[in-house]
Amino acid sequence: MTAGIDPAEALDFASRLAVEAGGIISAHFGQVLEVRHKGTVDLVTDADLASEKAILAAITARYPGHHIISEESHTGTVSEATCRWVVDPLDGTTNFVHGLPLFAVSIALQIDGRTEVGVVYNPAQNELYAARSGAGATLNGEPIHVSATDALQEALFVTGFPYSRDDVFQRSFDLWHEFYNRCQGGRRLGAAALDCCYVAAGRFDFFYEAALKPWDICAGDLICREAGGRTSDWSDEALPFDGSRVLMSNGHLHEAALEVLGGAALEG
């Protein structure tokens, strides 16, 4: 029990909720969507909003008094509440809008700033990634583990590019070039929560990105660490809650990736 919460029960609740929200999203998948723009290329659909509504209602009913940080209703203020849920109701909205089945619901519970529970669910592939602090990570109930790759030239990495079209955006392409030169290959999937989980499952050897948000990585960070991975910022400091300069790896390649990222003086 932490802060009166049973983490095993919270994980079960979050898992069921992610699958329920995934069902809501799936019902919209492939339909003609009303797409609104939050920025030039940053999208929101009815599916994002319906998923968020259901998740927020369920958390509020089950855990009244807990704080919730969720992408589409985020006010910009990050509360330091003891119990804090961090939610992306639909990660990978651009994929979703284009009918690409790479998207997910991401739900995490933090207690006193530590992530205790994390779940990421991709309804299109029926893949539920889940972790509880100290209890390991699973995919559809089966334990998962990061890869054993220990040389960059044998590594497959994944990354993403920010919505902003600024210096960070430009520099992200320089980094892509630098890593691509050194590795076996690189991918850009467009759903950061899944990027984290695919490192956890050993599909990718590492994942980095310059400018994410708390809801993109909070659950995935725990899932990756519980699968034996290592997470940090680009200077090997603790992974920032705000999602800036994220590195998640199988551990073996962390130093090598940091060396490349260390040269990246990204502002913003």
Asked if 214 is part of the footprint of ligand IPD (rule: CB under 6 A), the reply reads: no
Binding track, positions 61-80, relative to ligand IPD; x by CB under 6 A: --------------------
The whole-angstrom separation of Cα 78 and Cα 63 is: 19
- Structure token pair of residue 213: 């948000």
Asked if 216 is part of the footprint of Ca ion (rule: CB under 5 A), the reply reads: yes
Contacts 24+ apart (CB under 8 A), 25-28: 25/50, 25/51, 25/90, 25/96, 25/103, 25/105, 25/123, 26/123, 26/124
Q: Which region among 77-85, 91-99, 142-150, 175-183 touches ligand IPD (by CB under 6 A)?
A: 91-99
Binding track, positions 124-163, relative to ligand IPD; x by CB under 6 A: ------------------------------------x-x-
Restricted to residues 64-83, the positions that interact with Ca ion (CB under 5 A) are: 71
Q: Which region among 54-62, 90-98, 219-227, 256-264 touches ligand IPD (by CB under 6 A)?
A: 90-98
- Binding residue for ligand IPD (CB under 6 A) from 88, 205, 226, 233? 88
Q: Which region among 145-153, 184-192, 224-232, 256-264 touches ligand IPD (by CB under 6 A)?
A: 184-192
Q: Which residue is nearest to ligand IPD (CB)?
A: 160
Asked if 45 is part of the footprint of ligand IPD (rule: CB under 6 A), the reply reads: no
> Looking at this protein, which amino acid is placed at residue 255?
E
Residue 212 contact partner, candidates Ca ion, ligand IPD, none, CB within 5 to 8 A by sort of partner: ligand IPD
The whole-angstrom separation of Cα 109 and Cα 17 is: 13
Minimum CB separation of residue 9 from ligand IPD in Å reads 27
CB 219 within 8 A of CB 107: yes
Minimum CB separation of residue 92 from ligand IPD in Å reads 5
Q: Which region among 73-81, 84-92, 146-154, 247-255 touches ligand IPD (by CB under 6 A)?
A: 84-92
3-state secondary structure of 121: strand
> Looking at this protein, which amino acid is placed at residue 13?
F
> What are the two backbone dihedrals, phi and then psi, of residue 263, each rounded to the nearest 5 degrees?
-80, 0
The region that residue 228 occupies, defined by phi over 0 for left and psi between -120 and 50 for alpha, beta otherwise, is left
Q: What 8-state DSSP symbol labels residue 73?
A: G
Asked if 221 is part of the footprint of ligand IPD (rule: CB under 6 A), the reply reads: no
CB 69 within 8 A of CB 110: no
Contacts of 122 (CB under 8 A, 6+ apart): 22, 101, 102, 103, 104, 191, 194
Where on the chain is the footprint of ligand IPD (CB under 6 A)?
88, 91-94, 160, 162, 190-192, 212, 216
Where on the chain is the footprint of Ca ion (CB under 5 A)?
71, 88, 90-91, 216
